[in-house]
Every structure is written in structure tokens, then in C-alpha cells.
Amino acid sequence: MRSALAFSLALSAAPAFATPPPMASLTLPAGFHIAVWTDQVPDAREMALGTKNTVFVGSRDAGKVYAVSYAADGRVEKIRTVASGLQLPVGVAFHNGDLYVSAVNRIYVLRDLENHLDTPPKPELVTDKLHTETAHGWKFIAFGPDDKLYVPVGAPCNICDRGDEGFAQLWRMNPDGTGAETVAKGIRNTVGFDWRPSDKSLWFTDNGRDMLGDDLPSDELNHVTKTGEHFGYPYCHQGDTPDPEFGKGKDCKSFTPPVLKLGAHVAALGMRFYDGKQFPAAYRGAAIIAEHGSWNRTAKSGYRVMSVRFNGNKVASYEPLVEGFLKGEKVSGRPADVQPLPDGSLLISDDDNGAIYRVTYKN
């Protein structure tokens, strides 16, 4: 594990792409448009909004955190690397002027960062009490309506039973790292969650286990209705499929089933609720999900951005918003996170191309 932190004040250099972002192949519903917002964010993963026209972006293999400054019309003005030398800093969360960053077993905070983008402050350690395992150890983080920091602790394996050690859970803690408690259990690896604007309830994606064939189990969209709820892993998958090893003697009805099966191996990652006004009214309150794409399926699946519309707590539709990163078996991009902007447009990070796209709508 890398323990040293290094901070760069320089403008990010443009990465060397294996292929350019695949704009010509992408398809969206009528009236929607997509364009490259920036192609200078290597390994871009989770995004977080500041309050002064800044989008913060975590990375995975690059070990960096970026700050993308943009103008009132949405045009990118400047990109800075505000932190480097971090271990898998996928997660970024902006709260009361401070940026929180996940680094496997640690959470750091950069105080008042948006006012010091050219001279980033020295990071402060919030906690180093998380597990050190890197398998599912990189984290998507976010602050909830309760002003608590939500931090997932993925299973350190494909399939294992280590819940009693604090794995396969979603935690929350105070901004200073104290008061950690378990919110939900039985979660293999959530890399995306958000609170529905209408009722402030928590929803999350979960990646299903591997090595049960091409079509089992499905990734999930889940809804937390009570603290401590158990969603099945490793005993039961997709709400109705006992695990061949750990499911013996278990009843799937004992666990909370998913609200929606997203498809096997699609690798559902970042998700946010859309509450903007630019998209058609039918998208208001929809969950937008980035599907990173399969790695061990005979025919690839995922590699797209999906929208889930609701009727109350029930799913009304599950439809593509952006497709075309997968043509046949050829991959040209991998969506990792989605983030609405204040003007109602939508950002999509693509760690494969080191790019962020912007989706707009014009009737």
C-alpha cells in the first residue's frame, strides 16, 4: 500500500488514448445530445459537485483526484490535479466546502478546497479504521441528508462469508470519522448510491458474484427501508437464488430482494437520481445508472447508461439513455459514474477513455 501523499499544482496533461472517445457510435433517445466535456481525466471514476462551478473526480489506477472548473454555460475552463499518490481514490464527496476522499482503509479531507484549487491544502486524516483489503476495497462515498458520510465496505472476495468482520456492508459515520455504524448488510460491492429527492430514502446498486455462468446472478438495484437490513450476500443472490456453497439451509425470503434485477455481470456502478428540469418530465425522479460492463461473460453485457423510472417504489421502466460503447464484442468505453449538473445536464465519467461526457436535451 502506498502511504505517502504527493500534491500537484500543475494543470493535468492530456492522456494518451488507445482510441479516441467513441462519440460517433453513441445513441440516445430523441432530443438528447452527448459531447465530450473533457478528455483530460485519466481513470475517471466517481464525481462530486462543488458549489462554485467545480466538479471533483476520483480515479482508481491513476491514484489522483482532479478538479474540473467550468463556466456558466457548462464549458470546461481548467483542470487541476489536486491530489496524487493516493491508493485507489475512487470516492469523492463534497460537504460544507470540504472534499472527502476515500483511499481503501482511509478517508481524507481537504479543507476549503474549492477556494484553494491552485494551492490545495494539506489533507487531514478522517479515519484509518477501515479494512486494508483492496479486493472491492475502493469506495464510492457520499454524504446523506443526515449529514453523515456513507462508506461501503465490500466483500474481500468473489464469494465468502465475512460479514461478522464488518465486510459486505454499508456504513455511515460523522464527518470527523466518529460514530461509525452499519446501515445495511449482505451487500457484495456497492459502487453507487443516492437518496431519492421525494422521500430522502437510500437506494444503491450492487454487483453480483462471478463464476455462476453467463446469466447468474443479476446485478441489483436496492432500496433501504430500515437500518440494518440484510440484502442476501453471500447466502442468496438476486433475491431468489441460493448460493451453491453458502446458501445451504438459508431461505431467500429471509432477506430483502432487489427492487430491480439489472442483468448479469453488467457491473452497475455509479447511480444518481435525476431531479433537474432540462430533461423531459418523465425523467424527473428517475435513477440514472452507469453500467461499466462485464469482464467474464461469453457475450459482453453492460457498457451503457440506463434510466430507471418509478411508480412509487415500483419500477415503471428500465431503458437505455446512452448506448453504443459496445458494438458486437468490441468495447470503446466504460461508463463509471453519472452526475447531474445544476443546469439539468448530465455528466458521465468513462475511466477507459479518461473522459467525461455531457448529455443535454433540446426539444
3-state secondary structure 311-343: ECCEEEEEEEEEECCEECCEECCCEEEEEECCC
Q: Under a CB-based contact definition with an 8 Å cutoff, are residues 349 and 60 in contact?
A: no
Q: What is the dihedral of CA 40, 41, 43, 49, to 10 degrees?
A: -160
Residue 8: the pLDDT is 32
**Which range (1-5, 44-48, 226-230, 313-317) has the least confidence?**
1-5
Residue 21: pLDDT band with limits 50, 70, 90: confident
Check whether 93 has a pLDDT greater than 60. Answer: yes
Is omega for the bond preceding 217 within 30 degrees of 0, making it cis?
yes
Residue 19: the pLDDT is 55
| Rg, Å, the chain Cα set | 19
Residue-wise pLDDT for 257-302, tens only, equals 999 999 999 999 999 999 999 999 999 999 999 999 999 899 999 9
Residue 15: the pLDDT is 40
Residue 3: pLDDT band with limits 50, 70, 90: very low
Check whether 168 has a pLDDT greater than 80. Answer: yes
Cα-Cα end-to-end distance for the chain: 50
Which residue type occupies 61? D
- Return the closest-CA partner of residue 103 out of 125, 87, 81: 87
Burial of 176 (0-12, 13-18, 19+ CB in 10 A): exposed
CB atoms near residue 199 (< 10 Å): 8
User: Which CATH fold would you assign to the domain 23-361?
Assistant: Neuraminidase (2.120.10)
Query: What is the arithmetic mean of pLDDT over 99-108?
Result: 98
The domains of the chain are located at 23-361
- Kindly report the average pLDDT of the chain as a whole number: 94
What is the DSSP track for 55-69? EEEEESTT--EEEEE
Residue 20: pLDDT band with limits 50, 70, 90: low
Q: Are strands 54-59 and 65-70 parallel, antiparallel or unpaired?
A: antiparallel
CA angle 142-237-330, nearest 5°?
A: 75
